[in-house]
């Protein structure tokens, strides 16, 4: 499964010796006090950058950082440039902007072996608008384009989609790995195949569940969205978060799953609280016995055991969405238990990005998961069966 082709050319398929290569990386990392707080995404970009440098390419790297409206000095990529230089063990020059004559001059004058990092793409609204002139400005800085920003590949922006139509465009090693794992898992998974879905809302996961339903053997539901599923079965979840307009959708999903012989697992006990706060009064109760006025914020210990038992037979697992409000320690146990359960399985295990990747990291089991995606929105769209614009625009492979 893991050896499947992604159907697109990659950095391995092109000659980059002596060529200037524009690499769209995902360096959108958290900052604290003007420094990089978590360099995971920078590290994930290193294999592609190192590969290109070893092949003699002259690198121009671009990325967004945060969601600035115009130029926001606190969202400059300067801290990222410093950390990238330390990790690559070579000079990284931060350009004054991402387009324009000064940036072009900085790229042209960069010494051999140095990497030029363009300033934050989103300082320009034309980036998200996929403005043709902005894309042309970026493409003028290189002769080859490599997209390694899986986390932004579901956005048709100038740097992720527009440039790909102006230069020979291929996938980086991270992009290749992400697409390979996610597409191959959904297309031809080892069986039994389990989908674990969580997070706050059913509405954000309907498309993914419906796309996975014909392919899975086990469906496990947690997080706030489980409240809507519980209500669909007639359970009174009291003041808990519920999408009332999705109750009938949840009922339809449950009927379809059972009609296909899919084992459906919903919480049998829950951790609830009298208010949404880290120091709230907490109770662990059966799912159908939530006290009046209380809200469900995590799955309970009995549910943790039942979910672990259901997953024990799985040969492949995809997990997207936490089991509870893991930001509060009192309601993180279910998510961390799920992370540890999946990490111990003798199965192909794939974890969606965003909050789910954060749970796995906080639980200390990232290295025990087959693949942890770097893109929350992008991975979810792939699980929905959608083609990502940043992938579709790349050159098709010859195979």
For residue 239, with 0-12 CB atoms within 10 Å meaning exposed, 13-18 middle and 19 or more buried, which class applies?
middle
Residue of 39, 10, 345, 393 whose CA lies nearest to 172: 10
41 a catalytic residue: yes
Q: Name the phi and psi angles at 319, rounded to 5.
A: -130, 125
**Token pair of 240 as six digits:** 């808990």
Catalytic residue among 82, 377, 385, 386: 377
Residue of 106, 118, 122, 137 whose CA lies nearest to 72: 122
251 a catalytic residue: no
Strand order across the beta sheet in which 282-286 lies? 282-286, 269-273, 295-299
110 three-class SS: coil
Catalytic residue among 55, 83, 90, 201: 201
100 a catalytic residue: no
The per-residue DSSP string of 194-249 comes to EEEE-SS-STTTHHHHHHHTTT-SEEEE-STHHHHHHHHTT---TTS---GGGHHH
Catalytic residue among 41, 155, 177, 180: 41
Contact present, 60 and 81 (Cβ < 8 Å): no
377 a catalytic residue: yes
Catalytic residue among 199, 321, 334, 354: 354
Place of tokens 């309970």: 300
Active-site positions read: 41, 201, 354, 377
């Amino acid at each position: 499964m893991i050896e499947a082709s992604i159907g697109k050319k990659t950095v391995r398929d092109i000659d980059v010796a002596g060529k200037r290569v524009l690499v769209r990386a995902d360096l959108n990392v958290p900052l604290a006090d003007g420094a990089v707080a978590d360099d995971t995404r920078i590290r994930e970009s290193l294999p592609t950058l190192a590969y290109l440098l070893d092949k003699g390419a002259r690198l121009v790297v671009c990325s967004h950082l945060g969601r600035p409206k115009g130029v926001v000095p606190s969202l400059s990529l300067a801290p990222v440039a410093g950390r990238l230089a330390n990790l690559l063990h070579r000079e990284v020059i931060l350009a004054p902007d991402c387009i324009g004559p000064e940036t072009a001059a900085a790229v042209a004058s960069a010494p051999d072996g140095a990497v030029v990092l363009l300033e934050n793409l989103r300082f320009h609204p034309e980036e998200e608008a996929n403005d043709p002139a902005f894309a042309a400005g970026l493409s003028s800085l290189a002769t080859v384009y490599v997209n390694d920003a899986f986390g932004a590949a579901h956005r048709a922006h100038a740097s992720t989609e527009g440039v790909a139509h102006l230069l020979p465009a291929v996938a980086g090693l991270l992009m290749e790995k992400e697409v390979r794992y996610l597409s191959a898992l959904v297309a031809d998974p080892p069986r039994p195949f389990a989908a674990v879905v969580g997070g706050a809302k059913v509405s954000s996961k309907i498309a993914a569940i419906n796309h996975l339903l014909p392919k899975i053997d086990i469906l496990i539901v947690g997080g706030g969205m489980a409240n809507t599923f519980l209500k669909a079965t007639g359970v009174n979840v009291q003041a808990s978060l519920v999408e009332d307009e999705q109750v009938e959708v949840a009922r339809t999903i449950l009927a379809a799953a059972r009609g296909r012989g899919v084992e459906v697992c919903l919480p049998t006990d829950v951790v609830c609280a009298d208010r949404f706060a880290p120091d709230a009064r907490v109770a662990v109760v059966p799912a159908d016995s939530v006290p009046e006025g209380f809200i469900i914020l995590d799955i309970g210990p009995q549910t943790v055991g039942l979910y672990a038992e259901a997953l024990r037979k799985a040969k492949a697992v995809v997990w997207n969405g936490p089991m509870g409000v893991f930001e509060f320690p009192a309601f993180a146990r279910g998510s961390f238990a799920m992370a540890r359960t999946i990490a111990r399985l003798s199965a192909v295990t794939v974890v969606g990005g965003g909050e789910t990747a954060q749970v796995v990291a906080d639980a200390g089991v990232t290295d025990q998961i087959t693949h942890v995606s770097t893109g929350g929105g992008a991975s979810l769209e792939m699980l929905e069966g959608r083609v990502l614009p940043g992938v579709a625009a790349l050159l098709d492979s010859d195979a």
